Amino acid sequence: KNEVEQSPQNLTAQEGEFITINCSYSVGISALHWLQQHPGGGIVSLFMLSSGKKKHGRLIATINIQEKHSSLHITASHPRDSAVYICAVRSLQGAQKLVFGQGTRLTINP
Amino acid sequence: NAGVTQTPKFRVLKTGQSMTLLCAQDMNHEYMYWYRQDPGMGLRLIHYSVGEGTTAKGEVPDGYNVSRLKKQNFLLGLESAAPSQTSVYFCASSTRGAKNIQYFGAGTRLSVL
């Protein structure tokens, strides 16, 4: 079993829909990251969380440390949100390193 | 300010050939990382470095070597390429500290025939 599991693996939605991507992990962590990988391949960091909730524009990330679960929400989705969204955790044992989920491929149709 | 720059962007090798991938960062970051990304799998750490002159093995180090002779550069070497090393390689860097964000290069797509 992977230390970081994302669901769904693939998600297709219509423009304007509310999107939720889930991330569950099995180890104690110091931080959780959400990253975005565009079709061109580049990877950028969206959020770093250690508790609670963060919001940036139409993106919201939440984390529940007790349940070892995080969600990434996109409100009023747009075709330009189409990308692979990746969850990654810093475990308490390997603080210099990230462990990555497999990614969720999101496609927003106009 | 270029951030993290990887060269080359694409490369095709024959089995047994050697090559070096270069990663350069201009953010004065202490930590640097090399990952590989394969279809259906998450990014996997090959090697990493927590400072100039130091390197450490990651999750999938076999078949690769690295060097960090200068703080801004992290080199990934393949001494004898194998088809199993066909992948997309990403370099990343971050400041010191357990919670700091990693900044990624654009990736190198390598095919080994």
CB distance B22 to B7 below 8 Å: yes
Give me the pLDDT at residue A32, please. 94
Cis status, amide bond into A39, omega within 30 of 0:
no
CB distance B113 to B56 below 8 Å: no
Contact B45 A45 (CB under 8 A): no
Which member of A30, A41, A88 has the closest CB to residue B99?
Answer: A30
User: What part of A 89-108 touches B (C-beta under 8 Å)?
Assistant: 90, 95-103
Residue B4: is its pLDDT beyond 90?
Answer: yes
What CA–CA distance (Å, rounded) separates A45 from B11? 26
Q: Mean per-residue pLDDT for A26-44?
A: 90
Q: What average pLDDT does the structure give for chain A?
A: 93
CA A58 to chain centre: 14
Q: What average pLDDT does the structure give for chain B?
A: 93
Give me the pLDDT at residue B87, please. 96
Which member of A41, A96, A101 has the closest CB to residue B50?
Answer: A96
Select from A1, A32, A29, A24 the least CA-distant residue to A94: A29
Chain A residue numbers touching B48 (CB-CB < 8 A): 96-97
Q: What is the pLDDT of residues B8-57, one digit of tens each?
A: 999 999 999 999 999 999 999 999 999 999 988 889 999 999 999 999 99
Instruction: Copy the structure tokens of residue B28.
Output: 């004065």
Residue A9: is its pLDDT beyond 70?
Answer: yes
**Which alpha helices (DSSP H) does B25-110 contain, by range?**
none
Give me the pLDDT at residue A1, please. 62
Residue B99: is its pLDDT beyond 70?
Answer: no
Give the chain B residue whose CA is nearest to the CA of A36: B104
Confidence of residue B1 (pLDDT cuts 50, 70, 90): low
Confidence of residue A2 (pLDDT cuts 50, 70, 90): confident
Contact B104 A95 (CB under 8 A): no
- The amino acid occupying position B58 is G
Give the residue, A21 or B95, on which the prediction is more confident.
Answer: A21
Give me the pLDDT at residue B61, please. 96
Contact B106 A41 (CB under 8 A): yes
pLDDT over 90 for what percent of chain B? 88
Which member of B40, B48, B101 has the closest CB to residue A48?
Answer: B101
Q: Mean per-residue pLDDT for B72-98?
A: 93
Give me the residue label for tokens 């999101």: A106
Distance in angstroms between the alpha carbons of the first and the last residue of chain A: 36
CB distance B64 to B48 below 8 Å: no
What CA–CA distance (Å, rounded) separates B51 from A84? 31
Please tell me the distance in Å from B113's CA to the nearest CA on chain A.
22
Q: What is the pLDDT of residues A55-103, one digit of tens each?
A: 999 999 999 999 999 999 999 999 999 999 999 998 877 667 889 999 9
Contact A102 B48 (CB under 8 A): no
Q: Mean per-residue pLDDT for A3-27?
A: 96
What CA–CA distance (Å, rounded) separates A9 from A17? 18
From residue B87, alpha-carbon distances to A28, A38, A40, B9, B38 in Å are 30, 17, 15, 12, 6
What CA–CA distance (Å, rounded) separates A86 from A46? 10
